[in-house]
């Protein structure tokens, strides 16, 4: 049995901006699970299409029950092949990815098409399809549901990746990550707490001065 997922999203940047940003997504604070990326093949066809193949290494934590299925000497990193076709004439980019290890546990295939948004030529729409299959007896459904949930989570991270890189390429301040926002809030709260006694002392001093003036 194969689980299928279809999702669509929009980036408020032109295809001409999204296309170069795609090749600069990593490293990225939103996708620290992507460990490495290597281009193993690239060519320009006679009809001016760019064909590329990349090998990516990702590290994703498995659920506890799945951890027990892995022998102690087996690496938990996932190796993924990505084939892409860029058609500058029609302004489309199509990618197809699939894992090449741990296939005994699950196979996740993804197809993405990036094209100019039909409603706004300055935006880019992304159509994502995913197929998840597992032949693991007894727990295949649980594996598929977990893989789909992880896929959706990573899809959200990818959109954050794009927003972060596009902001940098366009000379804007990149959006802050949740960790950065939390750190700033913590530091601000600490500063407020440290300043509170001094502020209270100052208020008390002003109140005492005012009281003395009234008595006079």
> What confidence tens digit (pLDDT) does each residue in 107-120 have?
999 999 999 999 99
Co-location of 127 and 184 in the same domain? no
163 and 191 share a domain?
no
Same domain? For 100 and 55 the reply is yes
Same domain for 112 and 209, yes or no, is no
Count up the domains in the chain and report the number. 2
Per-residue pLDDT reduced to its tens digit, 114-137: 999 999 999 999 999 999 988 777
Range of the domain at 81: 2-169
Please indicate, yes or no, whether residues 204 and 114 belong to a single structural domain of this protein: no
Torsions phi, psi for 208 (to 5 deg): -65, -40
Same domain, 115 and 197: no
Predicted TM-score of the model (pTM): 0.74
In the sheet where 124-133 sits, what is the strand order? 2-11, 124-133, 107-116, 92-99, 77-87, 50-59, 34-44
97 lies in the same domain as 189: no
Query: Do residue 209 and residue 105 come from a single domain?
Result: no
Q: Are residues 55 and 151 in the same domain?
A: yes
In this structure, the answer to whether residues 149 and 45 fall within a common structural domain is: yes
Q: Taking a C-beta distance cutoff of 8 angstroms, is the pair 69, 105 a contact?
A: yes
Q: How buried is 210 (Cβ within 10 angstroms: 0-12 exposed, 13-18 middle, 19+ buried)?
A: exposed
Shared domain for 43 and 85, answered yes or no, is yes
Looking up residue 43, the CATH number of its domain turns out to be: 3.30.530.20
Q: For every one of its 216 residues, what pLDDT tens digit does the chain have, with 9 covering 90 and above?
A: 788 999 999 999 999 999 999 999 998 888 888 999 999 999 999 999 999 999 999 987 666 666 666 665 555 788 999 999 999 999 999 999 999 988 888 899 999 999 999 999 999 999 999 999 887 777 777 878 887 888 888 888 889 999 999 998 888 765 554 444 444 445 554 555 555 566 656 766 766 666 666 666
Whether residues 28 and 115 share a domain: the answer is: yes
Which of 130, 54, 120, 121 shows the shortest CA–CA distance to 86?
54
Q: Which of 143, 107, 124, 110 is nearest to 7 (CA)?
A: 110
């Amino acid at each position: 049995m194969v689980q299928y997922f279809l999702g669509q999203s929009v980036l408020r940047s032109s295809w001409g901006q999204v296309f170069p940003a795609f090749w600069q997504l990593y490293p990225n604070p939103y996708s620290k699970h992507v460990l490495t990326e290597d281009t193993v093949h690239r060519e320009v066809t006679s009809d001016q299409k760019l064909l590329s193949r990349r090998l990516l290494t990702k590290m994703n934590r498995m659920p506890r029950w799945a951890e027990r299925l892995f022998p102690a000497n087996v690496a938990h990193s996932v190796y993924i092949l990505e084939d892409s076709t860029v058609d500058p004439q029609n302004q489309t980019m199509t990618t197809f990815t699939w894992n090449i290890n741990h296939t005994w546990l699950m196979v996740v295939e993804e197809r993405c098409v990036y094209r100019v948004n039909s409603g706004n030529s300055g935006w880019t729409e992304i159509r994502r399809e995913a197929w998840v299959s597992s032949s693991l007896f007894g727990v295949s459904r649980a594996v598929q549901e977990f893989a789909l949930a992880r896929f959706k989570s990573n899809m959200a991270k990818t959109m954050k990746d794009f927003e972060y890189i596009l902001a940098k390429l366009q000379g804007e301040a990149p959006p802050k990550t949740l960790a950065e926002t939390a750190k700033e809030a913590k530091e601000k709260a600490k500063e407020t707490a440290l300043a509170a006694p001094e502020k209270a002392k100052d208020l008390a001093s002003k109140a005492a001065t005012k009281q003395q003036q009234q008595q006079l």
